[in-house]
Amino acid sequence: MYLENSIRSSSFRDMELREITFALPPGFKFHPNDHELVCHYLARKVSDQERTMVEVDLHIQEPWELPDAAKLGADEWYFFSFRDRKYATGSRTNRATKSGYWKATGKDREVSDPMTGAAVGMRKTLVFYRGRAPNGSKTNWVMHEFRLETPRSPPKEDWVLCRVFEKRKAERDQARESAMEEEALTSSRWREEEWLGLLSEWETMENGVGF
C-alpha cells in the first residue's frame, strides 16, 4: 500500500504543470503569488531542478504568439526566459522583438519572504510597444518579469520568470461581470416592484374597492 501511494505520488509530481492545471475541476486555476513564483519556480529553475514551465525566447515571440503550453491561466502565460544583454559589458537588457519591444514602466517592486520579511527577488512591470523606440505604439500587453535578487547572493544565471497577460481582455471581462451584476440587480428590483403591485391589487380586491 505504501509503495503504491509512493508510485502514485511520484507519478503525479512528474506530470507537466499545464496537464495538472487542465485536470483540475472547474473553478480551480494556477494562481501563485509573487513569493511562490520567485522562491519555488524561479529558484528551482536557476538550480536546474524545475521542469514544469516552458522556456520562451522573447526575441522571436510576439506576445500574441506565445505558445499554448505556456498558458497556465485563463488569460495568463507563465514561462522562463533567459535575459539577453544589450551590450556585452553592460547590464541593460535587450527586450526587442521582430515587431516591437518591451518597455519597463514604474519602479521595480521588491518581492519579500512573508515569514521573515527578507528580500528574495524583484518584479519588473513592462508594457509591449509596436515599432521601434522612441516612436513605438503602446499596446495592452503587460508583462511581470521576476528575477532573483538578494543583497548578499546575486543570481548565478540571468533566468527570469515572466507572467504575461492582455490588459484589455481582463478589463473587458471585468466590465462584463459588472454588467451582469447590474442586470441581475435591475431584474431583482423589477420583480420586487411587480410583487408590490400585485399585493396592492389583492388588497384592493379584498377591501371591495371598485365593486
pLDDT digits (tens, 9 = 90+) for 110-124: 999 999 999 999 999
Which residue from 92, 109, 84 is spatially nearest to 163, judged by alpha carbons? 109
Residue 55 counted as domain residue: yes
Residue 22 counted as domain residue: yes
Residue 71 counted as domain residue: yes
Residue 189 counted as domain residue: no
Q: What are the cell numbers at 164? A: 504575461
pLDDT of residue 70: 92
Residue 151 counted as domain residue: yes
Residue 101 counted as domain residue: yes
Q: What is the pTM of this model?
A: 0.67
Residue 205 counted as domain residue: no
Which residue from 54, 51, 58 is spatially nearest to 103, judged by alpha carbons? 58
Give the domain CATH number at 136.
2.170.150.80
Q: Rounded to whole angstroms, how far apart are CA atoms 120 and 114?
A: 10
pLDDT of residue 4: 42
Residues in the chain with pLDDT < 70? 1-28, 85-92, 150-157, 169-195, 197-199, 202, 204-211
Residue type for position 158: D
Query: How many structural domains compose the chain?
Result: 1
State the residue range of the domain holding 45.
Answer: 2-166
Q: Rounded to whole angstroms, how far apart are CA atoms 164 and 192?
A: 44
Q: How far is CA 83 from CA 32, 43, 48, 60, 120, in A?
A: 22, 15, 16, 13, 19
pLDDT of residue 182: 66
Residue 179 counted as domain residue: no
